[in-house]
């Protein structure tokens, strides 16, 4: 007998609604009915669809039946707690009041368990950028952010970084050819990666409509503060970064996220969450899903897909450049931010949202960048409970994009690039180093959270050169986080 195969398309043709129930039904069929014919299995699943109430107590089919039953109407207005949970703040002296206020709002959510604010924090939507929030069985789309799975990726090559000066034109060409910058930009010829064949694209209606565009954007880098750059890596001591001895190396560092895929997921599910749970005033963007709810399951699956997609984009870029260099990297160090994880905190499982924050569990490696001229740092986490095992995701903005465009000149940008011997390809005044906090102050404020084990100095930096869309918000808010 051939191996059983049941697809989302076949279940939809039976009348199954869009949503996680399709994934659950497929998994049940493949696990418990793998020795039966497809016709028999589809007949069983059609029976559950026609009369789900008759199967709610069935040990095998019960979960499918319960997901097919009509959802009871609920009163959806939610009140904040009068007193919020306590949360630790790192680098309070240089965190703007708007970010503090947003964190106070998040601390009053009925589902909040623990929180922390990182030293690079600034105001965003919902949870502030640099905000960390642990919740009880709840996922907040705007606690994750718009650019789901935005991440850092560093490849360390056993190449003398002096070559960046001696062969500058060569390395510049490789950056220009390895990826694509700009909002909405797509490749004419797609690079294949297995992530584009993930079953979620078939089983979740929203994702099915995004699959084609996602394929065309695989390996691209977007706009805003995203970059791909060559630089010098200095490793402090042997064994600080496994597989890399103390010394000086050539590094390739990239920063970008899940492109249009993540942005559409965030927009779609935030709208649903805000309808499902109406929070008062400024807290409206903190609407959440329970992970027991169909929408919560669907968002969780979509978020994880977007995170894997973002990772694939980085790997494609790094593999292209490694091939051109003719070298395999000695080590790749990478980490997400703008994501949520299931973790243990104080003896209970929680959902940890890190919106613009780096995971810093015990001995976990990560990258914290500075700016286009300031160094970035390879760090090893200390697993500090006060920060919910988190650290900053960068230096953090001290000027909004509008402020930067109005106050920084091209002459000033040119001078600081020359001072630090950095070649910039693209990039705008909104991303000039003056718009960011002092990365060394930020690192000093979190010395109890991470150990610095290496330094990355930018030398050839590639960014989007277009006019930033983010700064056009009527309220002057930073968009696209």
Q: Please write the tens of the pLDDT for every residue from 334-362.
A: 999 999 999 999 999 999 999 999 999 99
Residues 176, 308: one domain? yes
CA dihedral sign, ordered 125, 129, 262, 403: positive
* Predicted TM-score (pTM) of this structure: 0.86
What are the angstrom distances between the C-alpha of 55 and each of 36, 69, 92, 117, 370? 20, 10, 55, 47, 57
Residue 82 lies in a domain: no
Residues 61, 181: one domain? no
Q: Residue 202 sits in which domain range?
A: 143-472
Residues 239, 354: one domain? yes
Residue 92 lies in a domain: no
What does the pLDDT look like over 248-271, one tens digit per residue? 999 999 999 999 999 999 999 999
**Does the pLDDT at position 1 exceed 80?**
no
Residue 365 lies in a domain: yes
Residue 257 lies in a domain: yes
What are the angstrom distances between the C-alpha of 206 and each of 195, 262, 265, 299, 345? 16, 11, 8, 10, 33
Residue 73 lies in a domain: no
Of 68, 99, 115, the domain-final residue: 68
Average pLDDT score over the chain: 93
Residue 115 lies in a domain: no
What does the pLDDT look like over 185-238, one tens digit per residue? 999 988 999 999 999 999 999 999 999 999 999 999 999 999 999 999 999 888
What is the tally of structural domains in the chain?
2
């Amino acid at each position: 007998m051939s191996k059983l195969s049941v697809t989302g398309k076949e279940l939809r043709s039976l009348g199954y609604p869009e949503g996680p129930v399709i994934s659950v039904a497929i998994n049940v069929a493949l696990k418990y009915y793998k020795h039966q014919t497809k016709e028999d299995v589809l007949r069983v699943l059609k029976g559950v669809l026609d009369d789900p109430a008759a199967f709610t107590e069935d040990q095998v089919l019960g979960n499918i039946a319960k997901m097919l039953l009509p959802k009871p109407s609920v009163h959806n207005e939610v009140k904040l707690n009068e007193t919020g949970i306590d949360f630790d703040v790192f680098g309070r002296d240089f965190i703007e009041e708007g970010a503090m206020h947003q964190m106070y709002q998040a601390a009053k959510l009925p589902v909040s368990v623990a929180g922390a604010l990182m030293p690079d924090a600034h105001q965003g939507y919902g949870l502030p950028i640099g905000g960390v929030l642990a919740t009880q069985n709840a996922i907040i789309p705007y606690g994750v952010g718009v650019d789901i799975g935005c991440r850092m990726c560093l490849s360390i090559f056993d190449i003398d970084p002096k070559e960046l000066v001696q062969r500058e034109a060569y390395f510049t060409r490789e950056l220009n050819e390895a990826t694509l910058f700009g909002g909405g930009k797509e490749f004419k010829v797609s690079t294949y990666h297995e992530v584009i064949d993930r079953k979620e694209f078939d089983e979740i209606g929203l994702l099915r409509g995004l699959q084609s565009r996602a394929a065309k954007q695989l390996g691209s880098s977007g706009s805003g503060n995203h970059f791909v750059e060559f630089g010098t890596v200095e490793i402090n001591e042997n064994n600080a970064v496994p597989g890399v001895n103390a010394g000086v190396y050539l590094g390739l560092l990239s920063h970008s996220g899940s492109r249009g895929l993540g942005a559409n997921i965030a927009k779609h599910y935030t709208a649903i969450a805000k309808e499902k749970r109406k929070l008062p005033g400024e807290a409206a963007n903190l609407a959440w899903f329970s992970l027991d709810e169909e929408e919560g399951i669907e968002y969780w699956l979509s978020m994880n897909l977007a995170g894997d997609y973002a990772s694939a984009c980085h790997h494609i870029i790094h593999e292209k450049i490694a091939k051109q260099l003719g070298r395999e990297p000695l080590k790749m160090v990478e980490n997400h931010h703008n994501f949520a994880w299931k973790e243990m905190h104080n003896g209970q499982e929680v959902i940890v949202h890190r919106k613009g924050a780096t995971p810093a569990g015990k001995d976990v490696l990560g990258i914290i960048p500075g700016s286009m001229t300031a160094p970035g740092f390879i760090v090893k986490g200390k697993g500090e409970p006060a920060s919910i095992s988190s650290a900053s995701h960068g230096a953090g903005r001290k000027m909004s994009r509008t402020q930067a465009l109005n106050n920084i000149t091209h002459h000033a940008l040119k001078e600081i690039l020359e001072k630090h011997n950095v070649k910039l390809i693209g990039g705008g005044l909104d991303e000039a180093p003056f718009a960011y906090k002092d990365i060394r102050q930020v690192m000093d404020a979190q010395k109890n959270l991470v150990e610095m084990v290496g330094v990355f100095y930018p030398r050839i930096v590639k960014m989007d050169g277009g006019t930033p869309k983010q700064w056009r918000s009527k309220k002057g808010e930073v968009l696209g986080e």
